[in-house]
């Protein structure tokens, strides 16, 4: 307990330096600004803004990136409420009741309760991260290569179970991601793999290039197709602060949402995406009058938004303690951290405690800042959202181009990003979900490395994976998961959960 307080104090001393406060503020502000753009989710936002952190020292850069991340997350909710377009999967649920509230002239209250709920969830999640970090890091040190491999298999299985649509397609797309991860020079033998003699990709594909192509450009292509009538709320925004009754109605949903979101966010394989769905379903079940849901029930915004933010934050735990990204956004964070010379994993906490605890403390500060920045700026976001899409998407294209070019000053990478844009568009056309690919891409390299190490240690015996209790247990859970996903009855209810959200 004293450790916890001591660690947080260390973190706060780092995060509260004037420079880091400014970076955190800037990150939150720009993150929200870009995240508010319809169709631009956290992945595209982070990729686009990655170059602006280049000139900063690693601690500051990470604090800023984290700020960009939850800024983008919050910006997505704003778009969901005001325009009925979810920026990403986790804010889908918010559109249901949030947009209805906005239509009834209660947009301000919806945004207000989302901000307040997110803030409370963020505070709790920060404490959970701080409390779990030390024991989990200690546990991570017990992990051998075989156990790591098994853990990643488990994470990918979770991603399969949680993906929408067919199980076979979800597994296949993860495998494609792993296949893409083998492109480039093999680290052990120095041989070029899958490069077709093309020098530009001898160092492997950049995660930012894939992410920007599939989540920036492909998303624009899809948005252009659906001639959506963007119904930006015309009703007044109304007052921002929820009144006593709103708060009473929201208090319990926020608490439940926070708890659910925090727990699910810990799961490897994009558990965070489940939080808002689970919270919405729970609140609807518990409500005295479930028919209010879908017609502007404040609980339907408060609960899921809290779950969303809590999960977004606890998703950092597997990344920071085990070095394994649980979802596509965190996979991108691995890329971002690597650029700054930080290798995510248990050694961060022991070797760079200032960086580790500074980042965690800045999460809490960032949440506070979001509350302070966003409530007064809502009017600005509304005006921003009224810019017609025919002007908005060329601007997004330009920002994406500049962002990608600046990562390595390479025009070739810009061209490759365009190619991945087309690839991402094709994926969607064939009914594949792009997010698991990114996860498979980042985990693929790690998995191959750990597989090699494990087999070297065991002198080529695959038995090592079932003989070590930890890895055997993890693989067993993965197996159970996949069986469950294939069972028809569960498949139906799984589809229903997603249907309801649509």
Range 458-497, binding other proteins (CB under 8 A): 459-462
Residue 135 in contact with other proteins, rule: CB under 8 A:
no
Cβ proximity to other proteins: between 198 and 350 the closer is 198
* Binder among 262, 313, 417, 471 for other proteins (CB under 8 A): 417
Cβ proximity to other proteins: between 135 and 394 the closer is 394
Contacts of residue 40, Cβ cutoff 8 Å, sequence gap at least 6: 34, 48, 72, 87, 216, 219, 396
Q: For residues 465 and 13, give the distance between their C-alpha atoms in angstroms, rounded to a whole number.
A: 43
The answer to whether the beta carbons of residues 73 and 206 sit under 8 Å apart is no
Q: For residues 335 and 206, give the distance between their C-alpha atoms in angstroms, rounded to a whole number.
A: 8
Question: How many CB atoms are closer than 10 A to CB 385?
Answer: 19
Closest CA to 38 of 69, 7, 8, 81: 81
Cβ proximity to other proteins: between 297 and 437 the closer is 437
Residue 136 in contact with other proteins, rule: CB under 8 A:
no
* Binder among 10, 139, 372, 422 for other proteins (CB under 8 A): 422
243 DSSP 8-state letter? -
Q: How far is the CB of 68 from other proteins (least distance, A)?
A: 13
* Binder among 138, 241, 380, 398 for other proteins (CB under 8 A): 398
Q: For residues 144 and 155, give the distance between their C-alpha atoms in angstroms, rounded to a whole number.
A: 17
Binding mask 357-396 for other proteins (x = CB under 8 A): --------------------------------xxx-xxx-
* Binder among 96, 101, 128, 164 for other proteins (CB under 8 A): 164
* Binder among 12, 132, 179, 470 for other proteins (CB under 8 A): 179
Q: Tokens 């015309």, residue? A: 234
Total residues at interface with other proteins (CB under 8 A): 84
Q: How far is the CB of 499 from other proteins (least distance, A)?
A: 10
Cβ proximity to other proteins: between 112 and 335 the closer is 335
Length of the chain in residues, anyone? 502
* Binder among 88, 97, 246, 299 for other proteins (CB under 8 A): 88
Q: Is 78 left (phi over 0), alpha (psi -120 to 50) or beta?
A: alpha
Cβ proximity to other proteins: between 240 and 272 the closer is 272
Q: How far is the CB of 354 from other proteins (least distance, A)?
A: 17
* Binder among 3, 186, 200, 467 for other proteins (CB under 8 A): 186
* Binder among 378, 421, 441, 446 for other proteins (CB under 8 A): 421
- Burial pattern 250-262, b for ≥16 Cβ within 10 A else e, equals beebbbbbbbbbb
Q: Considering only the stretches 100-108, 112-120, 186-194, 233-241, report the one whose residues sit in contact with other proteins under the rule CB under 8 A.
A: 186-194
Structure tokens at 85: 């377009």
Residue 219 in contact with other proteins, rule: CB under 8 A:
yes
Q: How far is the CB of 135 from other proteins (least distance, A)?
A: 33
* Binder among 194, 235, 487, 490 for other proteins (CB under 8 A): 194
Q: How far is the CB of 367 from other proteins (least distance, A)?
A: 22
Closest CA to 336 of 73, 47, 31: 47
**Distances 396 to 49, 80, 380, 403 between C-alpha atoms, Å:** 12, 18, 18, 10
Closest CA to 335 of 443, 180, 220, 219: 443
Sign of CA dihedral 362, 364, 368, 371: positive
Residues 105-124 that bind other proteins (CB under 8 A): none
* Binder among 110, 162, 414, 485 for other proteins (CB under 8 A): 414
Query: Which runs of consecutive H residues, i.e. helices, occur in 212-298?
Result: 218-225, 244-266, 274-286
CA triple 69-120-499, angle to 5 deg: 65
* Binder among 55, 244, 469, 488 for other proteins (CB under 8 A): 55
Residues 10-39 that bind other proteins (CB under 8 A): 18-19, 22
């Amino acid at each position: 307990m004293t450790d916890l307080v001591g660690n947080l104090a260390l973190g706060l001393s780092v995060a509260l330096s004037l420079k880091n406060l400014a970076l955190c503020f800037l990150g939150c502000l720009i993150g929200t600004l870009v995240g508010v753009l319809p169709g631009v989710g956290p992945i595209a936002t982070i990729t686009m803004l990655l170059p602006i952190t280049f000139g900063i020292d690693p601690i500051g850069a990470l604090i800023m990136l984290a700020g960009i991340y939850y800024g983008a997350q919050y910006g997505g909710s704003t778009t969901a409420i005001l325009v009925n377009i979810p920026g990403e999967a986790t804010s889908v649920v918010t559109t249901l009741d949030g947009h209805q509230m906005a239509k009834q002239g209660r947009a301000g209250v919806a945004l207000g309760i989302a901000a307040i709920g997110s803030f409370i969830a963020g505070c709790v999640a920060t404490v959970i991260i701080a409390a779990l970090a030390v024991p989990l890091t200690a546990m991570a040190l017990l992990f051998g290569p075989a156990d790591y491999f098994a853990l990643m298999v488990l994470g990918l299985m979770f991603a399969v179970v949680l993906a929408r649509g067919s199980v076979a397609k979800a597994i296949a797309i993860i495998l494609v991601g792993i296949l893409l991860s083998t492109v480039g020079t093999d680290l052990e033998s120095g041989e070029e793999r899958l490069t077709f003699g093309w020098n530009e990709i001898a160092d492997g594909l950049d995660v930012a290039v894939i992410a920007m192509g599939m989540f920036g450009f492909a998303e624009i292509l899809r948005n252009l197709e659906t001639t959506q009538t963007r119904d930006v709320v015309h009703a007044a925004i109304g007052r921002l602060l929820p009144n006593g009754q709103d708060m009473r109605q929201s208090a319990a949903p926020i608490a439940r949402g926070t708890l659910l979101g925090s727990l699910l966010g810990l799961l490897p394989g994009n558990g965070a995406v489940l939080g808002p769905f689970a919270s919405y379903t729970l609140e609807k079940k518990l409500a005295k009058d479930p028919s209010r849901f879908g017609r502007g029930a404040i609980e339907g915004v408060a609960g899921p938004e809290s779950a969303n933010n809590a999960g977004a934050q606890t998703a950092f735990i597997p990344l920071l303690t085990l070095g394994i990204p649980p979802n596509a956004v965190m996979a991108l964070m691995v890329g971002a951290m690597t650029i700054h010379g930080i290798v995510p994993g248990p050694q961060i906490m022991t070797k760079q405690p200032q960086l580790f605890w500074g980042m965690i403390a800045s999460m809490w500060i960032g949440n506070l800042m979001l509350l302070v920045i966003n409530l007064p700026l809502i009017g600005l976001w509304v005006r921003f959202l009224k810019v017609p899409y025919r002007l908005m998407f060329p601007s997004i294209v330009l920002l994406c181009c500049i962002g990608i070019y600046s990562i390595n000053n390479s025009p070739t990478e810009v061209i490759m990003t365009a190619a991945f844009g087309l690839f991402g568009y094709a994926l969607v056309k064939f009914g594949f979900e792009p997010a698991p690919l990114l996860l498979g891409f980042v985990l693929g390299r790690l998995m191959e490395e750990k597989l090699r190490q494990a087999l070297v240690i065991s002198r080529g015996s695959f038995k090592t994976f079932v003989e070590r209790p930890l890895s055997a247990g993890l693989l067993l859970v993965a197996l159970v998961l996949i069986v469950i996903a294939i069972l028809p009855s569960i498949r139906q209810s799984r589809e229903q959960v997603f249907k309801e959200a649509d």
